[in-house]
A and B are shown apart, each in its own frame.
Chain A
Amino acid sequence: MTIVVERPQGGRLVDQFEYGLDAPICLTWELTYACNLACVHCLSSSGRRDPRELSTEECKALIDEFERMQVFYVNIGGGEPTVRPDFWELLDYAVAHHVGVKFSTNGFRITPERAERLAATDYVDVQISLDGATAEVNDTVRGQGTYDAALRAMANLKAAGMKDFKLSVVCTRHNIGQLDEFKAIADTYGAQLRLTRLRPSGRGADVWDELHPLPHQQRELYDWLVANGDLVLTGDSFFHLSAYGEALPGLNLCGAGRVVCLVDPVGDVYACPFAIHDQFLAGNLREDGGFDTIWKTAPLFLELRSPQTGGACTSCSAYDSCRGGCMAAKFFTGLPLDGPDPECVRGNSETALAGDRERPGSSQDHSHTGTVRNAPVPLTLLRARPVSACDESPLVPG
């Protein structure tokens, strides 16, 4: 059942946002599940193209709808969006229809020629993914050769005169110690550093226990973010860290279904980019009357826009700052949605994490099933020494 609550007038902007907006502020559009890589922590479990992928015409119709709704810009991701043969055509179409685009890429296809074209358009921004300030740390997570590819792409963008593109880093326990180095790399290429949180979504659920920052690293990250302020972007990723004290720049609220949402490659609309799961599915573009209708009337979205209870967190003195943390992080770690975030800085989720919990698993998986040329480099190659050379297939990772 959905109760529509009347919106209060005036007051803080963040309170207004909790009641939702007429159109999203920040919309993520995963254009394809196809990817040339196989990053261990992929949020969308990408790899193989889905045969039901939206056609070029359907994508253009969606851009038309964004224009009508005045969605000023979209964050395009994947998968690797540039592997779609119509990617550059769609990019031009969006720009011509006053929908700005920021797209995320691993950089493999950002050639000097592409970089020139990108630098020539105000409406387009590029975000290069890099999860280690050294090849050793990065390639373990993102795959062999991906560090070099990202740096090559940044060099091409810089040479083309592109300014303030983004260098996007997912924070893990192996790269928290490299924050200054990431900043230095960004500065070298005239890029802006963007740090985001490792979410236990998609394949990220499988590696979250080993990769998420340790408690003392969370503090280190928070102090670094406070010291660097507006110079570093975070996509409002770390509002759970605001419980340390001073709020970080940004809205500091869960925007799922209120100010953000995600459109996936087959037209499914989810509450947020980190919640690709049936539980957070609001509808499908093809079946449920288009994007505008889903955004404005999907029961899931109306529910997310009605006042939420802080549950077990309500009595905590930090609740006003952290708002209980990230819904997706709780969901995929099997924690109650109205309780503390799995990375609660007060340690309030430790008992629940240590106890019995049922992780929901994923409701879609497009991961590669065969070998991938740029596969992540495993930290331990073999668990046990093979008895003979033939006991380990050279093609299947051990």
Chain B
Amino acid sequence: MPVLPGAAWELSPSVSLRPEPFGALAYDFATRKLSFLKSPTLVDVVRRLADAADVEDALLGAGVPAAERDRYVAALGTLATSGIIRERVAA
């Protein structure tokens, strides 16, 4: 699922993150599926999503270098496909 840098996303409400030395475990209580976030920076980005104006803002806040933005946006796309993050609807 494509994630646009200008869109607002958040961690899905049924998903919990558990920090680990390599990144984090993500468990979806609704689907009972376990996934792995393979870098601490990616975990930081995901955690920032809910309070950031958009994906771009979260990447900036987590200090992702400009050259690596695309790679992180692609990684978020993978998380979106597996339902770990979801698009935020305006309240």
Contacts and interface: CB of A to CB of B under 8 A. Distances in A.
A13 B18 contact: no
Interface string B45-61: 00000000000000000
A73 interface: yes
A140 B39 CA distance: 50
B69 interface: no
A27 to B, nearest CB: 13
Contacts of B72: none
A23 interface: yes
A338 B76 CA distance: 41
B21 interface: yes
A160 interface: no
A19 B21 contact: yes
B29 A100 contact: yes
B16 interface: yes
Interface residues on B, range: 10 to 19
A125 B29 CA distance: 11
A100 B29 CA distance: 7
B19 A25 contact: no
B18 A70 contact: yes
A7 B21 contact: yes
A100 B32 contact: yes
A392 B30 CA distance: 56
A72 B22 contact: no
Contact of A22 (B21, B29, B34, B39): B21
Nearest to B30: A122
A98 B29 contact: yes
A23 B21 CA distance: 11
Interface residues on A, range: 10 to 19
Interface string A167-181: 000000000000000
A21 interface: yes
B50 to A, nearest CB: 18
B27 A22 contact: no
Contacts, number: 41
Nearest to A22: B20
Contacts of A72: 16, 18, 25, 27, 29, 34
B38 A25 contact: no
Contacts of B19: 22
A24 to B, nearest CB: 10
A23 B27 CA distance: 13
B16 A98 contact: yes
Nearest to A13: B36
Given A13-B38, A72-B34, A21 B20 contact: yes
A70 B17 CA distance: 8
Given A7-B21, A13-B38, A22-B21, A70 B16 contact: yes
Find the residue from B19, B29, B36 having the highest chain A CB count within 10 A: B29
Given A13-B36, A73-B32, A100-B32, A25 B21 contact: no
B22 A16 contact: yes
Interface in B1-41: 16, 18-22, 25, 27, 29-30, 32, 34, 36, 38-39
Contacts of B27: 72-73, 100
Given A10-B39, A70-B16, 18 more contacts: A10-B22, A13-B38, A16-B21, A16-B22, A21-B21, A22-B19, A22-B21, A23-B18, A25-B25, A70-B18, A72-B16, A72-B18, A72-B29, A72-B34, A98-B16, A98-B29, A100-B32, A123-B29
Interface of A: 7, 10, 13, 16, 19, 21-23, 25, 70, 72-73, 98, 100, 102, 122-123, 125
Interface of B: 16, 18-22, 25, 27, 29-30, 32, 34, 36, 38-39
Closest 7 CB pairs of A and B: A72-B27, A70-B18, A16-B22, A21-B20, A22-B20, A7-B21, A122-B30
25 contacts: A10-B22, A13-B38, A16-B21, A16-B22, A21-B20, A21-B21, A21-B25, A22-B18, A22-B20, A23-B18, A25-B25, A25-B34, A70-B18, A70-B25, A72-B25, A72-B29, A73-B27, A73-B32, A98-B16, A100-B27, A100-B29, A102-B32, A122-B29, A123-B29, A125-B32
